[in-house]
Structure 1
Amino acid sequence: MVDYIVTVATGDLAFAGTFNNVYIKLVGTKGESDRTWLTSLKWPLSFYSGTVCVTVSCPFSIGKLILVELDKQPLFVYLEDNWFPAKVEVKSPEGDTYNFPIYRWITDSEVHRFREATALRVFDDAHPLGKYSRDQELMEREEDYRWDEYLEGIPYSIRSEGPLDLPCEVRFSFTKTTEFLFTAVTGLSELGLSGLSDSTENWPDMETLHRVSCSKLTNILEYVQEHWKEDTFFGYQFLNGVNPMLIQRCSVLPNNFPVTDDMVSLSGQHTLADEMKKGNIFLCDYKRLDGLKANVVNGKKQYLMAPLVLLHKTPDDQLMPIAIQLKQTPADDNPIFCPTDSEYDWLTAKIFVRSADFNEHQLNVHLLRTHFMAEVFAVSLLRNVPMVHPLYKLLVPHTRYTLQINNLARGLLISKTGVFAKFAASGGKALRTILKRSLSSVTYRSLCIPDDIADRGLEDVPNFYYRDDGLKLWEIIHRFVQGVLSFYYIYDSEVQKDSELQMWISDIYKHGFLTQPGTGIPESFTTVAELVKFVTMVIFTCSGQHSAVNAGQFDYSGWMPNTPFTLQRPPPTTKGTTSETTMLKTFPAVNTTVNGMSTVYLLSRQSTDSVYLGQYPLEHFSEKKPRKLIEDFQRDLHELSEAITVRNVDLEVPYTYLDPKVVENSVAL
């Protein structure tokens, strides 16, 4: 007889343990063990204490271990419960140690097979039992993770009736669920806004608005309240607010934006043409919002403009707005507003821009380009790539909670009864149109920050911290991904013949980008370099990019005048007709304001069980090389974090959203 020492670890999660009987079978290249009951002196608490160690005896060595089979059976006095095993470690009589990562809920009495941790590409998996278990896993996953067309013309999502219909392994933890629901239910009271959520009245004055918005102030939100009217801060937000994705260098004025030199005031005697040649003029064009029928809120028609904004980089490196046109088509009733206009003409124009920016940001930059893209990457991974594959091991940490948070977003935010339908200018039919237009504008280059920055001509814009931190973070992620994937794929031909890799990208192209030609999204991989860049983009999108456009929502939108969900009056058609009174009537009503504040508060609250970029509490890799690369990755992220902290000391408005210590691994909020 030969003995195998088996250690089974239960995950450190609420309710992860089980009172059921648990059985294991070891399967090797030369045979298999008997199905063995796992227990210890601590029974029946064995699977609540973290680990249980037993001996599995075989008449002879079963060779190199390929997989383990686990199943649990209910005791006759108990109902079947769920169990979350973390991993199994087996020490063989030959002195070898085998690790089997699991990290999945077992909710039934079926036999579940788990592979040894050494990563295997599909063409490496030569043993018939390995191939069989690989195929069976993918067949089960194809059933569990089915595509669904939520809305025509936007990326597909996972098919589910609700959060509880999702596979257990992708749901929120008990901790995450409890904290999320608590914040959702108590958000208004935590913000001191209880009793205002049903009021459809307008704000009577700015003092009242200030008074009800002073609870839970962050340092940046307090700064926003004090500086929201200033042109310098208005311009700053295009670079370092929650939507740094629209601004671009302007070398030629659009034909529909007839700004002339006598309209604008530039430093010195320079003309617009001169400043454009020098690269000092920038444009923000909200054309995706053009022609939309705005929502009806509180029984009143709302207004959503599609503005064009021209900005000038001054000699002291400030980005200042110099002209705003609130509708796309030039006309006598569509004036171009400038800083030389009356105080409230100019401020009202900026308010309409900020409201347009909110809707563009939420639906395109935030929802579509991070949440929906991350879901496509995750579902395709889970459908096409088994746990033993190196790509699965690399990417699965970046799928954590994404499918449930998106399920909640579809139900609570963008559904016919969601927050956007009730309170946002872009709710209703406009929402679908914006999402469709947004997807048609997505290119591969626009998802890769080095390419995107170059294409928008923003390489040398001063004080652009999103760019500075984002490019550094991209490079760190790229170096890590290159190291890991180059360890497993030395030759381009290995990428080409990996059918699981090819199915992953093909599924993304079909269900994420709807096989749209001309986007630059690869339909297949032909080189290691192509694979490395795409996986870098996936990780950056799910971590850094999402943090950049999500984490600051309460900071910048918690003060409604800076980012109105919607506006109740049309923009002025002639100059000289605005005042503080008209501004207050234009602002959203009280209930719209407080529900908007509560929503962005919820969407900015990280849970206590958040997992940040570079942290891998679930150990999927066992080989020394990738584990060393993870250590290097963590060191590089720590160094970037320290550099950002030092930089921020001297900033009036610190930029923290790409600091690795606050960037989650995945789209989890």
Structure 2
Amino acid sequence: MLTGGRITKVKGTVVLMKKTVLDFNDFQASFLDGLQEFLGNKVTLRLISSNVTENGSKGKVGKDAHLENWITTITSLTAGESAFKVTFDYDADFGYPGAFLIKNSHPSEFYLKSLTLENVPGHGRVHYICNSWVYPAKHYSKDRIFFSNKTYLPNETPEPLLKYREEELVSLRGTGEGELKEWDRVYDYAYYNDLGVPSNDPRPVLGGTSEYPYPRRGRTGRKLTKEDPKTESRISIISNVDIYVPRDERFGHLKMSDFLAYNLKAIAKVIKPGLEAVFDDTPVEFDSFEDVLNIYKEGIDLPNKGLIDTIVNNIPLPLIKEIFKTDGQTYLKYPVPQVIKENKTAWKTDEEFAREMLAGLNPVVIQLLQEFPPKSKLESESYGNQNSKITKSHIEQSLDGLTVEEALEKERLFILDHHDTLMPYLRRINTTKTKTYATRTLLFLKDDGTLKPLVIELSLPHPNGDKFGAVSEVHTPGKGVYDSLWQLAKAYVGVNDSGNHQLISHWLQTHASVEPFVIASNRQLSVLHPVFKLLEPHFRDTMNINALARQVLINAGGIVETTIFPSKYSMEMSSLIYKNYWTFPDQALPAELKKRGMAVEDPGAPHGLRLKIQDYPYAVDGLEIWYAIESWVKDYISLYYKTDEDVQTDTELQAWWKEVREQGHGDKKSEPWWPKMQTQEELIDSCTIIIWIASALHAAVNFGQYPFAGYLPNRPTISRKFMPRENTPEFEELKKNPDKVFLKTITAQLQALLLLSVIEILSTHSSDEVYLGQRDSKEWAAEKEALDAFKKFGENVREIEKKINERNEDENLKNRTGPVKMAYTNLYPTSGGGVTNRGIPNSVSI
């Protein structure tokens, strides 16, 4: 139906940014230069009616409008943004302008942040959140469309907008063919077939096979290699071309991660090969702990002046200052990690060693010991007897008067078990420069709520073959040389835990597992959809950081393989963990804690869940955050889904969940544990899990990297020697200089310096980060009820911050700070910029 009526003028404001403002190499460019280039007919906008149709069922399109004058009176704009006036001829019968089309006739792209209309007849203020790159019109077959901030389920969408909604989703899915270019807005799936180079450094394809299952990554469409038609060609690190990700998934203009991403490339391109050249020619070891401390006090002046010249000539001065904390005079100087700020030696204590299993960088592995001695779940036909060789005599004298049976019954025994996850790969790993063990650590819960390490078991594959089981040795705390052996045993545990942390807790369970949800959401959920609006903030930058990781971090010969003990088997091993252990429902914090035996259902406890260790900082803080997220999701979902039938009949929602299961996590599609997405409860639970993983879980295992592991002796990542044996020269050296033997066993200086450079970057918050309980736009939804529910969530998050501060000041909670006097703040929701050891960003953004 086409109507006519009196024409009025509707004024609006367009906020955008020029490409040059966003370019790293031209970050200081003045936006004032060339503002006039957007005026005239260079940018055209047309409104679309939600009430009036034309050309069949599509909404009526209004007349052309163009950017007019630059507005200087808006004070809410951030750096680089600029606002323009725009005036639309508005038909009185046009109805609600539910969307608008925009055409860019300018020769370069710009970033469109928003359009706001004022005094729309009968509707007042109408706001459109865009946050998207708009490329020149030649790159599109249709003009770009943006919808207002109203929310609609598919079957409630006004008919004039429905085809626009459907067409936009079709365009985002692409055709599945061809190499994708920077201006493409295509979300699609691919296997991890881009990590190695078949000709000289191959790696198996992860995903698509029962042998190496894996979550999917974003498709780039790059050509396959001639050497191996299953492997995608790689971009050279030297190239300034970025791996394709949909343009709107790229880091934001103010995001310091743009700067940090450049740093990572600089490390991979210049610093890593340069350091390798230096230390290959003149190997340098840390001979004492004072040597290690000097990299924070004095820095390291690299002896190869050619390398220094190369760095200076290839990296801009701002980066030199950022990476090296210098103007170019002293190289490789690092800030003091928080774990040694108050006390330089407290990290060595058994109490701190155990405390970090509850309040450290990887607090998601420790379990309640269910049986003694611990038993392996590895298949005996392939791996023989892998059960523990720990006996009662090893631990009974350290149980504060209890027998082993009594300690088990009273639930006072715990285990950090890296045996079964590592043993299948250990023989191959130890053919590299790594020399390490699969470890089991037993701990006792003392009356004061702290844990005491009792025993460490170090295991190797049997020399005659896997089927003959494990060869194990058992270490307990001792004095003299036996204390030195105990310190080494703890170091091997640290090596295992560091690898598990980086490859499993961090990379697999947050970065890799979230990416399929990002892709599926953009392919199947319209921006008008309530679930898209709920989840979208928790997907910010994830595809970009993952693409960067595949280029310089987890690739063959990359930083992870260079600095983490599984070496070339790192990603392959993470595939085995995904295959044998990853389930979606178990990513829920309450379920995960119960699975590890760290919590049990109890109607009398808060939220019906009682912790086995009351002073378990990660779990205590985490559960408060979990239930705050769950409450927010429940409040929000109930606004749009009144019955289970609403969930079942939502075509976009059902397509989304089907695609997550069958494509995004396609190697797990037949697993019976997937929610069926037939009820409100299943939708609420699933969304809560996704938000938890992307925000709090990632924060818990990421932003403490430099504060905890920036001092490598506390969390070594590689072991290069096996335990010294009695009656050998190595054992005699251990007696004379245990510190030197310890440092020669753990991460070498080259790997240490590389790792510090990287984890400082990965532990850094950007200056424009958006934290849990916050949104980057106050008008993200038009519905007041949704905004009110989110306001309540934000208030709950702020209340949690107060409770965390109170707990950290409670001297009775000894696991909150420990011997190192380092308060547990990894789940403190907000933070300033930089390395702060706190803050929960909404998404896996670095």
Specify if TM > 0.5.
yes
Matched residue, 1:131: 162
CA, structure 1 residues 551+338, in 2 after alignment: closer, same or farther (shift >3 Å)? same
Relative to structure 1, the CA distance from residue 124 to residue 405 in structure 2 (aligned partners, 3 Å threshold; closer, same or farther) is same
Gaps of 5+ in 2: 1-5, 23-30, 54-59, 175-185, 193-205, 208-212, 223-240, 298-333, 376-386, 463-468, 599-610, 811-816, 831-838
Aligned to 1:317: 449
SS of match in other structure, 1:63: coil
The 8 Å contact of residues 295 and 425 in structure 1, kept in 2 or not, is answered as no
- Aligned residues of 1:251 and 1:277 also touching (Cα < 8 A): no
Give the structure 2 partner of residue 634 of structure 1: 794
1:638 alignment partner AA: R
Q: 2:423 aligns with which of 290, 293, 300?
A: 290
User: Partners in 1 of 2:460 and 2:368 — Cα distance?
Assistant: 19
| 1:165 alignment partner, SS class | coil
Map of 1:345 onto structure 2: 485
Aligned-residue offset at 1:224: 7.3
Q: Report the equivalent of 2:108.
A: 80
1:456 Cα deviation after fit: 1.7
CA pair 295-241 structure 1, distance change in 2 beyond 3 A: farther
Give the 3-state SS of the residue equivalent to 1:443 in structure 2.
coil
Structure 1 residue aligned with 2:310: none
Deviation at 1:555, TM superposition (A): 1.3
Give the counterpart of 1:336 among 453, 463, 474.
474
Match of 1:63 in 2: 95
Aligned equivalents of 1:406 and 1:649: distance in 2? 37
| Alignment CA distance shift 1:213-1:50 (3 Å) | closer
Aligned residues of 2:773 and 2:790 also touching (Cα < 8 A):
yes
Map of 1:653 onto structure 2: 822
1:81/1:582 Cα in 2 relative to 1: closer, same or farther (>3 Å)? closer
Match for residue 497 of structure 1? 649
CA distance in 2, matches of 1:413, 1:12: 31
Tell me, yes or no, if structure 1 residue 543 matches structure 2 residue 704. no
Gap change, CA 1:379 and 1:236, over 3 Å in 2: same
- Corresponding residue SS for 2:486: helix
Alignment-derived partner of residue 501 in structure 2: 361
Alpha-carbon separation, structure 1, partners of 2:428 and 2:63: 62
Are residue 591 (structure 1) and residue 750 (structure 2) matched? yes
Q: Name the TM-score, length of structure 1 as normaliser.
A: 0.91
Task: Give the match's secondary structure for 1:535.
Answer: helix
Give the C-alpha shift of residue 300 in structure 1: 6.4
Indicate how the Cα distance of structure 1 residues 499 and 524 shifts in structure 2: closer, same or farther if over 3 A, else same: farther
Deviation, structure 1 residue 306:
1.6
Contact 1:335 1:575 in 2 (8 A): no
Distance 1:43 1:663 in 2: 35
Q: Kindly provide the amino acid, as one letter, of the partner of residue 290 in structure 1.
A: M
Moved more, 503-512 or 592-601: 503-512
On the 8 A contact 1:614/1:634 being kept in 2, the answer is yes
User: Which residue among 371, 377, 394 is the counterpart of 1:263?
Assistant: 394
Alignment of 1:564-583 (within 5 A): 564-572=716-724, 577=731, 578-579=734-735, 580=738, 581-583=740-742
Contact 2:14 2:83 in 1 (8 A): yes
Aligned CA distance change for structure 1 residues 575 and 40 (closer, same or farther; 3 Å): farther
Kindly report which structure 2 residues correspond to 1:315-464, keeping only aligned pairs within 5 A, or say none.
315-327=447-459, 334-340=472-478, 342-458=482-598, 459-464=611-616
CA distance 1:49–1:225, shift in 2 (3 Å) = closer
Is the counterpart of residue 204 in structure 1 residue 232 in structure 2?
Answer: no
Partner deviation per Cα, 1:266-305 (whole Å, 9 max, x = no partner): 24431111101100000121121113257889x9621232
SS at match of 2:484: helix
Q: Let me know the Cα RMSD of the aligned residues.
A: 2.9
Cα deviation, residue 462, structure 1: 3.1
Listed one character per residue, the Cα deviations across residues 388-447 of structure 1 (whole Å, up to 9, x for unaligned) are 111111111111111111111111111013112223211213431233323430123420
Moved more, 624-633 or 200-209: 200-209
Post-superposition shift, 1:108? Answer: 2.2
Contact kept? 2:495, 2:718, Cα under 8 Å: yes
Looking at structure 2, the residues matched to 13 and 295 of structure 1 have their Cα atoms a distance apart, in angstroms, of 52
Secondary structure of the residue aligned to 1:366 is helix
Residue by residue, what CA displacement relative to the aligned partner does 1:244-278 show, whole Å, maximum 9, x if unpaired?
11111012022311322221232443111110110
Partners of 1:546 and 1:94 lie apart in 2 by 45
Opposite residue 137 of structure 1, the aligned amino acid is E
Q: Residues 97 and 118 (structure 1 numbering): CA distance in 2 closer, same or farther, change over 3 Å?
A: same
Deviations 1:74-109 (A, max 9, x none): 2xxxx3332323233253323543332222111122
1:150-161 correspondence runs (5 A): 150=192, 151-152=206-207, 153-160=213-220
- Secondary structure at the residue paired with 2:12? strand
**Distance (whole Å) between structure 1 residues aligned to residue 694 and residue 670 of structure 2:** 23
For residues 536-563 of structure 1, what are the alpha-carbon distances to aligned partners after superposition, in whole Å with 9 as ceiling and x for unaligned? 1111111100000001111111111111
Tell me the amino acid that sits aligned with residue 169 of structure 1. D
Matching residue of 1:149? 191
The Cα of 1:460 is off from its aligned counterpart by 2.7
Kindly tell me: are residues 647 and 104 of structure 1, through their superposed partners in 2, closer, same or farther at Cα, counting changes over 3 Å?
Answer: same
1:155 aligns to what SS in structure 2?
A: coil
CA shift for structure 1 position 593? 1.4
Q: Which amino acid aligns with 2:829?
A: P
- Cα deviation for residue 642 of structure 1 reads 1.6
**2:394 corresponds to which letter in structure 1?**
M
Higher mean displacement: 255-264 or 313-322 = 255-264
Matched, 1:307 2:439: yes
2:564, 2:717 within 8 Å by CA — same for their partners in 1? yes
When residues 39 and 86 of structure 1 are mapped into structure 2, their CA distance, relative to the original with a 3 A threshold, is closer
Distance 2:261 2:794 in 1: 32
Q: Which residue of 2 aligns with 1:122?
A: 154
Q: Contact 1:197 / 1:594 at 8 angstroms: preserved in 2?
A: no
Pick from 772, 776, 781 the counterpart of residue 621 of structure 1: 781
1:37-58 Cα deviation digits (max 9, x unpaired): 3233449999986433443224
1:242-281 pair list within 5 angstroms: 242-253=361-372, 254-255=374-375, 256-264=387-395, 265-281=397-413
Instruction: Identify the match of residue 335 of structure 2 among 216, 221, 228.
Output: 216
> Residue deviations 1:184-205, cap 9 Å, x none?
47889xx9xx979832333222
Query: Where in structure 1 are there 5+ consecutive unaligned residues?
Result: none
Residue equivalent to 1:23: 44
Cα distance 1:489–1:343, how it changes in 2: closer, same or farther (>3 A)?
same
Cα pair 1:88 1:102 within 8 Å, conserved: no
Query: CA contact under 8 A between 1:506 and 1:523: conserved in structure 2?
Result: no
TM-score in terms of structure 2 length: 0.73
1:233 corresponds to = 352
Give a deviation string over 1:602-627, Cα, whole Å, max 9, x none: 11011111111111123321100000
- On the 8 A contact 1:445/1:520 being kept in 2, the answer is no
Residues 389 and 472, structure 2, Cα contact 8 Å, conserved in 1 = no
Distance 1:515 1:423, change over 3 A: closer
The answer to which of 457-466 and 196-205 deviates more is: 196-205
Matched letter for residue 14 of structure 2: A
What SS does the aligned partner of 2:110 have?
A: coil
C-alpha distance in structure 2 between counterparts of 1:296 and 1:460, whole Å: 35
More divergent stretch after superposition (229-238 vs 9-18):
9-18
The 1:124–1:284 alpha-carbon spacing in structure 2 relative to 1, beyond 3 Å, is same
Say if 2:633 and 2:684, in contact at 8 Å, map to a contact too: yes
Does the Cα contact within 8 Å between 2:772 and 2:840 map onto a contact in 1?
A: yes
Deviation readout 1:361-390 (Å, 9 max, x if unpaired) = 100000000111221211111111111111
CA gap of 1:430–1:171, structure 2 versus 1, over 3 A, is closer
| Correspondence for 1:528 | 680
CA deviation map 1:100-138 (0-9, x unaligned)? 2222111122511222321111111250x3221111111
